[in-house]
Amino acid sequence: MTDTTKILPGRAGGLHISADVLQLAYRLLAALLICVLLSLLTDSFLSLNNILNVLRQASLMFFVAAGLTLVVLTAGLDLSIGANVGLTACLAGTVIHVTGSPTLGVLVGIGVGAVIGLANGIMVTALRIPSFIATYGMLWILQGVAYWYMAGETIHGFPPAFRQLGSGYFLGLPIPVYLLVIFLAIGTVLAQRTTWGQEIYAIGANPVAARLSGIPVAARLLLVYTVSGTMAGLASIIFLARLNSAEADIGESLTLPAIASVLIGGTSLFGGVGTVFGTFIGALILTLVLNGMNLLQISASWQPLVTGAIVILAVWLDRMTRRRAF
C-alpha cells in the first residue's frame, strides 16, 4: 500500500462510465433475466394484461419507496412509511368521501404525510434518537391511531374520476405508470439536480466531513424526513384511487417491500450511494418475483418470507461491496 494514486483498470482515457450507471445497468439486466425466465416458465407472463399489471404494481410499490430512498441516502431509515401511507389514506379518504372533493383529499394527504415526516425528523435531529428506533416507535403510534380512527370500518366508494388515478388507463397504459414517471422525475431532480440533493449524498457518505464542509446537517435531515413523509402522503392518494377503499391496515404490508425495493435498487444502508431510479428497478424486480410466484401457483403465504430473504441478501451484498472500500 504505497502512497500513490491508484488507477482503476481500463479507465485511463477510456469511456468514463460512472459507477452508478453501471450498477443500474446490472439491475436492469437482472430484471430482464427474470422476465425471460418467467416467460419461459409460464404461459401467462407475457400477456399484455399481466405486464400492465406488473407495471401498475411496481409503480404503487415505487411510490411508497421513492421518498424512503432519500432518507436511506443519508444513512437513516424510515420504518414508519407504511403506517404513514395507511393513516394518511384513511384521513384523506374520509375527506374525499365526505366533501366529494379529490383536491381537498390530496391536500390533506400531503399535509398529514408532511407532518408525520416532520415529526420523524424532529425525533432524529432534535431529540437525537437513532432513526430506526424513532421511526419504529412512530410506526406503532400511527398504526394505533389508524385503527382507532377507523374503528374497524372501511371507507368505500370514491368519485369515479378520482379512481381513474389508480385504476384507469390512458393511451393503453395504466395511469399510475404516468404518475410513476412524474414521481421518478421529481425524485431524480431532487436528488441529482439540486444543491440540497448533493448535500444529502454528502451527509450520507460522511456526516462528519459534511458538517465540517459547512453543510447544515440537522436542517437538511429535517427536510429529508419531511419530504419522505410528504411523498408517502402522495402515495396514499394513489392507493386510495386504486383500491377504491380505505382500511386501517392498508399500510402494514407496505413497509417491508418498500425497504426491499430501496435496497435491491442499489441504495446502500450505509449512506451516500444510490438513486431514485434504482429504487424503481428494485420495485420492478420485487414485483416480478412476486408476480412470478403468483403465476407459478406458489401460495401467497410465501411472499413475506421471500421478501424478507431478499432484504437480507441485498443488505449482505451491500455490506460486501462496501467493505472493499478504502
Q: How far is the CB of 6 from other proteins (least distance, A)?
A: 4
Instruction: Provide DSSP, 215-268.
Output: --HHHHHHHHHHHHHHHHHHHHHHHHHHHSEE-TTTTTTTHHHHHHHHHHTT--
User: Which CB sits closer to other proteins, 15 or 171?
Assistant: 15
Say whether 169 sits in a helix, a strand or coil: strand
SS (H, E, C) 292-318: HHHHCCCCCCHHHHHHHHHHHHHHHHH
User: Which CB sits closer to other proteins, 88 or 174?
Assistant: 88
Q: How far is the CB of 201 from other proteins (least distance, A)?
A: 7
Q: Which residue has the cell 437513532?
A: 130
Q: How far is the CB of 224 from other proteins (least distance, A)?
A: 15
Q: How far is the CB of 312 from other proteins (least distance, A)?
A: 4
Cα separations in angstroms, 277 against 89, 125, 143, 189, 209: 25, 27, 29, 11, 27
Q: How far is the CB of 84 from other proteins (least distance, A)?
A: 14
User: Which CB sits closer to other proteins, 66 or 314?
Assistant: 314
Q: Which residues pair with 155 in a beta bridge?
A: 246
Under 8 Å between Cβ of 131 and 78: yes
User: Which CB sits closer to other proteins, 195 or 297?
Assistant: 195
C-alpha cell at 232: 408517502
Q: How far is the CB of 16 from other proteins (least distance, A)?
A: 5
User: Which CB sits closer to other proteins, 162 or 201?
Assistant: 201
User: Which CB sits closer to other proteins, 154 or 198?
Assistant: 198
